[in-house]
């Protein structure tokens, strides 16, 4: 019984000791790989800069597309119907028509813009207030701003346009959805281009890191042969090169994030001035925590993939003589 208890007591210690040794070896190897990069500052910096710029290009374009979608003033407003009523309609008649239209299931809301309110708004925004005051009669009609329901299909929206145009009180119905559809089509093309470009640039990063690791392996060929001669496995010899790829990916991804954030910082001033000219509120949307983490993770994975493929390929060719 005593022997059994001693064996049970030793087993966790051995397991813990093996894990501690493994962890210590990896920590030592990672610091050694980082030290090699520090001892070659210029070459390491060039590789990191290339990786960072390569990663920043598709990420920055993706941020631009995201900002284009969230420009102030919801794009849903562009899908509203502007229903211009006949000039002879009174305010009370226009209000009754607005209530009747608002009861439809395919309409989310209806807003009445009276002729007097439209004229005052036009005076304030056009700068022709003095000239408009000389008019003896308000030339603007009452208008209804009709917002369709969010779940409407294109067929329902077209039918709604026909129904509003056919009302006896309606003079003109305007809805300009074509440019919105074209804009979203352009954004879809840009998204596809980003995906294709990101894939091609990822291949370029793998090639860059892989070529760097290959040169490092050739420079340390004699060291690798001696290490294998005393019994080291390919996995053990490959470990420092994997950590080198990890550091390249981590530093390259971090530099890409800095480039993107700095570029957005430079855009804040011009965007604010543009928003002031159009009396709007345009804010620059930055990369969130999830997107930033995904970019760093992608950079690290590319570094590990490039270093593992290159090291595994060349380790089999290096054997002690």
* Whether residue 168 sits in one domain with residue 140: yes
* Mean pLDDT taken over the chain: 80
Angle, to 10 degrees, between the axis of helix 41-69 and the axis of helix 178-219? Answer: 170
Q: Do 194 and 295 belong to one domain? A: yes
State the average pLDDT over residues 295-311. 93
Structure tokens at 208: 């860059």
Domain boundary among 153, 174, 195: 174
Domain identity same for 59 and 146:
no
- Closest to 211 measured CA to CA, from 321, 52, 58, 46: 46
The whole domain housing 158 covers 81-174
Lowest mean pLDDT among 155-169, 191-205, 286-300: 155-169
In angstroms, the CA 191 to CA 247 distance is 29
Q: Is the pLDDT of residue 94 over 50?
A: yes
pLDDT at 10: 44
Boundary residue ending a domain (174, 204, 230): 174
Q: How far apart are CA 161 and CA 107, in angstroms?
A: 11
Is residue 87 domain-shared with residue 112, that is, in the same domain? yes
pLDDT for the residue 13: 44
Over the stretch 19-29, which tens digit does the pLDDT of each residue have? 787 778 778 88
């Amino acid at each position: 019984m005593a022997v059994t208890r001693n064996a049970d007591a030793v087993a966790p210690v051995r397991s813990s000791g093996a894990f501690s040794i493994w962890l210590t070896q990896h920590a030592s190897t990672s610091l050694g790989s980082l030290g090699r990069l520090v001892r070659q500052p210029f070459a390491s910096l060039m590789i990191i800069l290339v990786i960072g710029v390569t990663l920043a290009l598709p990420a920055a374009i993706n941020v631009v597309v995201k900002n284009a979608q969230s420009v102030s003033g919801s794009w849903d407003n562009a899908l509203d119907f502007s229903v211009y009523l006949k000039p002879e309609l009174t305010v009370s008649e226009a209000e009754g028509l607005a209530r009747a239209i608002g009861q439809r299931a395919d309409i989310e809301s209806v807003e009445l813009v009276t002729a007097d309110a439209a004229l005052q708004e036009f005076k304030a925004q056009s700068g022709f207030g003095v000239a408009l005051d000389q008019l003896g009669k308000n030339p603007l009609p009452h208008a209804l701003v009709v917002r369709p329901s969010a779940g409407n299909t294109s067929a329902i929206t077209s039918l709604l346009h026909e129904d509003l145009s056919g009302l006896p009180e309606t003079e003109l119905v305007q809805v300009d959805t074509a440019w919105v559809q074209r804009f979203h089509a352009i954004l879809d093309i840009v998204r596809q281009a980003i995906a294709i470009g990101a894939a091609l640039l990822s291949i370029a990063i793998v090639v860059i890191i892989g070529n760097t690791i290959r040169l490092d392996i050739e420079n340390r060929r004699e060291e690798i042969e001696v290490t294998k001669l005393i019994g080291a496995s390919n996995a053990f010899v490959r470990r420092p090169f994997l950590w080198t790829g990890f550091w390249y990916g981590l530093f390259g991804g971090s530099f890409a994030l800095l480039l993107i954030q700095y570029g957005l910082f430079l855009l804040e001033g011009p965007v604010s001035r543009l928003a002031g000219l159009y009396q709007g509120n345009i804010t620059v949307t930055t990369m969130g925590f999830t997107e930033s983490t995904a970019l760093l993770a992608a950079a690290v994975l590319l570094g590990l993939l490039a270093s593992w493929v290159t090291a595994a390929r060349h380790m089999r060719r290096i054997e002690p003589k």
